[in-house]
Amino acid sequence: MKNIILFTIILVSTFSYAQNNNSTHSENTKFVYGENGLEPRNFTVIVEGMDRHELLSKAKEWLNEKYKDADNVIIKNDKTDKTDDSDEMEKAKPSEKISFNGFTDNAICFGEEPDYNCEGLEYTIELRFRDGEYRFKPKKLKYKIASSNKKQTIGLKKHKFYSKEGKIKKGYEKVSSQIEALLNKINRSLLNYLTGKVQDDEW
């Protein structure tokens, strides 16, 4: 009897661990932008009951609806990706891939009065579709400084708005949460469209 109870406890614990360990592959996964840049660098979202071709088709519809400039959409179909940071088994799975560029006005705000400004954010995002899932991977983030009109890159591996002492620079306290909000909102919009949920007024 004791052995049966012990086995049941181990089984439940293992199941709970598996669920928690899979949390990075759920729709609840969110990007965080901190001192080490964007974490995670990408994540996979499970979409049950749809193969990669269906996901690709729906994603194209979503892009056409949310991004009117079709010239910004670059479509590439691929079964393997030598630059992919997944393991060999993941690389071998048939997949479809889309990269697209987008722009959101007044996405990040920084500085101190009287030089407090809000700037538009340009981004490149890669979507990789496999049967029953997709991977969301931001590739580039850029913004323009109004005074110089030059594009500035936001590092995905390192937060440029942190000082050498590891503290956020004065006037840039809101940047992290604004970057997180934008990327998570884009992913939520895509997921809602793929799963047929009512769309928010995202942008």
Within 8 A by CB and 6+ apart from 110, the residues are: 116, 117, 119, 161, 171, 172, 174, 175
Q: Which helix (H) or strand (E) holds 4?
A: helix 2-21
Global pTM value = 0.76
| Residue 93 DSSP one-character state | S
**Comparing C-alpha atoms, which of 25, 138, 129, 124 is closest to residue 78?**
129
For residue 197, the model assigns a pLDDT of 80
Determine if the peptide bond prior to 40 is cis (ω within 30°). Answer: yes
Q: What is the pLDDT of residue 150?
A: 81
Nearest to 184 by CA among 22, 21, 40: 40
Give the pLDDT confidence score for residue 114 in this predicted structure.
84
What's the pLDDT at 136?
97
Residue 78 to residues 52, 75, 97: CA-CA distances in angstroms? 12, 10, 6
Sign of the alpha-carbon dihedral angle for 76, 82, 83, 89? positive
CA distance 55 to 73: 16
Q: What pLDDT was estimated at residue 46?
A: 95
Rounded (5°) CA angle 118-105-164:
45
CA–CA distance, 62 with 96 (Å, rounded to integer): 16
pLDDT in tens, the chain (203 residues): 544 443 333 333 333 333 333 333 445 579 999 888 999 999 999 999 999 999 999 999 999 888 876 555 666 555 544 444 444 445 567 888 999 999 899 999 998 888 888 999 999 999 999 999 999 999 999 997 766 678 889 999 988 888 878 788 899 999 999 999 999 999 999 999 999 986 555 54
Residue 119 phi, psi (nearest 5): -120, 155
